[in-house]
A = this chain, B = another copy of it.
Amino acid sequence: MEQHRVEHLAIIGGTHGNELTGAWLLERWRRQGEVVRRPSFQTHVLLGNPKALQQVRRYIDQDLNRSFDRDAVVPERADVATRGDRNYEYDRAIALRGQLETFRVIPDGVLVDLHNTTANMGISLIFVNQSPFNLKLAAWMQKRLPGVRAYCWLDESLPRRSASSVVERGVTIEVGPVANGIVRGDLFWKTEQTVEGVLDFVEEYNAGRVAFDGADEVELFIHERSVDFPRDERERIRGFVHQDLQDRDYLPLEPGAPLFSTLDGETLRYDGPPGLCPVFINEAAYYEKKIAFSLTRRELRRI
């Protein structure tokens, strides 16, 4: 499978309606199409969630990026009623799947999904499977753009799947820190550079010029588990990310490191094993998912 040439590649922007960088890049590429055009394959651009974008909200009924599963109708907000057994994002996921099939990205093209985070994730490539293609992409990108991180989580086990999981060769580009509802110029251009990197990689791959002979290494951050905020007896959050943990994504945690400040002014400290690296520290959208940060294990893998 991995040796297939790539014929079709899709870029989705605006999967979350308050993450503007991807949606605005799509508008840019509509005007300046040559930026995302490459000779050996077709590039398709798709707007993820137009209704949520219009309202500058993450989603209308449920998280679109957890809706790419046919059983994924699970509204996250108690105040939102579903329409029968369907809802807006469920319908969007079906429509997007249909477009990806029409463009022949499904089954064996490449999917790039653009996201922003309030966490200090820099430029992160998120993979939901470790296919040989994905690992090569990660290794190649780390050479081209030093500082690019690769974060691997497996969502095959989750009931509600992300956009990039609909194909084997898929990557989520997660860029931050940036507040919801704004475009930051520096990260806008960095995101474009990253997308151009992915396109150039596919071009090289199609030309048979991507060669790793086992002497190279790719740095991966493998998802271990997520950590919730401290809560009181009524399940309400009673503390926030400690200022000394804020912005330290990907840096190893040592036992005793401060994790949270409580509203009473207490400091809660880390008492797990040394060396795990937190990611998605203080991401706004994860408060409702009960995630203050996630823990990963750093791994260097020969490729």
A242 contacts which chain B residues (CB < 8 A)? 185
Report the separation of the CA atoms of residues A56 and B78 in the bound assembly, to the nearest whole angstrom.
Answer: 13
Contact present for A241 and B28 (CB under 8 Å): no
Q: Which one of A62-70, A127-135, A212-220, A279-287 contacts B?
A: A279-287
Q: Which one of A93-101, A150-158, A261-269 contacts B?
A: A261-269
Q: What is the copy number of this chain in the assembly?
A: 2
Query: CB within 8 A of A282: which of B77, B182, B189, B243?
Result: B182
Contact present for B263 and A181 (CB under 8 Å): no
Known: A118-B179, A179-B177, A180-B284. A24 touches B185 (CB 8 A): no
Query: CB within 8 A of A264: which of B32, B77, B241?
Result: B32
Known: A57-B57, A264-B32. A240 touches B24 (CB 8 A): yes
Measured CB to CB, the closest approach of chain B to A99, in angstroms, equals 23
| Contact pattern, A 171-183, Cβ under 8 Å of B = 1, otherwise 0 | 0000001111111
Report the separation of the CA atoms of residues A10 and B282 in the bound assembly, to the nearest whole angstrom.
Answer: 30
Report the separation of the CA atoms of residues A179 and B177 in the bound assembly, to the nearest whole angstrom.
Answer: 9
Instruction: Decide if A246 is an interface residue (CB 8 Å cutoff).
Output: yes
Contact present for A265 and B32 (CB under 8 Å): yes
Secondary structure call for the A interface: loop
A182 contacts which chain B residues (CB < 8 A)? 118, 282-284, 287
Instruction: Decide if A82 is an interface residue (CB 8 Å cutoff).
Output: no
Contact present for B181 and A264 (CB under 8 Å): no
Contact present for A246 and B184 (CB under 8 Å): yes
Report the separation of the CA atoms of residues A28 and B240 in the bound assembly, to the nearest whole angstrom.
Answer: 12
Q: For the A-B complex with A54-B79, A183-B240, A185-B243 known, give 12 more contacts whose Cβ atoms are closer than 8 Å.
A: A27-B263, A56-B284, A118-B179, A177-B179, A178-B179, A179-B180, A179-B284, A183-B282, A185-B240, A186-B243, A188-B243, A188-B261
Q: Which residues of A contact B (CB under 8 A)?
A: 24, 27-28, 31-32, 54-57, 77, 79, 118, 177-186, 188-189, 240-246, 261, 263-265, 282-285, 287-288
| Top 6 closest pairs, chain A to chain B, by CB | A185-B243, A181-B284, A179-B179, A118-B179, A183-B240, A186-B243
